[in-house]
């Protein structure tokens, strides 16, 4: 059944420079294997901290406004009509930044594979999700965030 985004409430996130509004379209449409969220970023705001997934490919489609996509080694301008595929590895690292003067509105689409490990290089940590992928609504059997340099010997 169709889901109209106008009928969904915005979820608001505000963590310093990270601030955005999100409507989870995929979840509202009862999608299992495909996630889709509508995002709005006000001028000067950023999406989630810079990260990449190891099991889930993502894609961005810009609906309105302008902004910047921070990648692994570069920055790319974004404007209405742009589509970006983000592989499930380090080369798919990203963060969306609204460096424009109007609201940046875009769709973020993703596979919903689990388990997944999401790496946050600038925060020097990674997240593990088992039982439900990032963005999933099912109960997880294991999840947590750990320092990137967390390492123990197998036998200790």
DSSP 90-133: GGG-BEEE--SSS-EEEEEEEE--SSEEEEEGGGTEEEEEESS-
Q: What is the pLDDT of residue 16?
A: 86
Q: What is the pLDDT of residue 156?
A: 78
Domains of the chain by start residue, with CATH: 7-112 (2.60.120.10)
Q: How confident is the model at residue 132 (pLDDT cuts 50, 70, 90)?
A: confident
Query: Can you give the pTM of this predicted structure?
Result: 0.93
125-130/142-147 β-pairing: antiparallel
Percent of the chain with pLDDT over 90: 87
Please report, to the nearest 10 degrees, the dihedral formed by the alpha carbons of residues 30, 46, 54, 143 taken in order: -70
pLDDT at 137 over 80: no
CA quadruple 33, 117, 94, 12: dihedral sign: positive
CB atoms within 10 A of CB 136: 18
For 62-96, the pLDDT digits (tens) are 999 999 999 988 999 999 999 999 999 999 999 99
């Amino acid at each position: 059944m169709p889901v109209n985004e106008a009928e969904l409430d915005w979820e608001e996130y505000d963590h310093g420079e990270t601030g955005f509004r999100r409507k989870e379209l995929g979840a509202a449409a009862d999608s299992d294997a495909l996630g889709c969220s509508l995002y709005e970023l006000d001028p000067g705001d950023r999406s989630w901290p810079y990260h990449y997934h190891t099991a889930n490919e993502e894609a961005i489609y810009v609906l309105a406004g302008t902004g910047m996509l921070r990648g692994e080694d570069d920055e790319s301008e974004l404007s209405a009509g742009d589509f970006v595929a983000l592989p499930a590895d380090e080369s798919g690292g990203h963060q969306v930044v609204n460096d424009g003067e109007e609201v940046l509105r875009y769709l973020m689409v993703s596979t919903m594979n689990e388990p997944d490990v999401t790496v946050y290089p600038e925060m020097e940590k990674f997240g593990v999700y088992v039982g439900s992928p990032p963005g999933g609504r099912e109960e997880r059997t294991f999840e947590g965030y750990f320092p990137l340099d967390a390492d123990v010997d197998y036998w200790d």
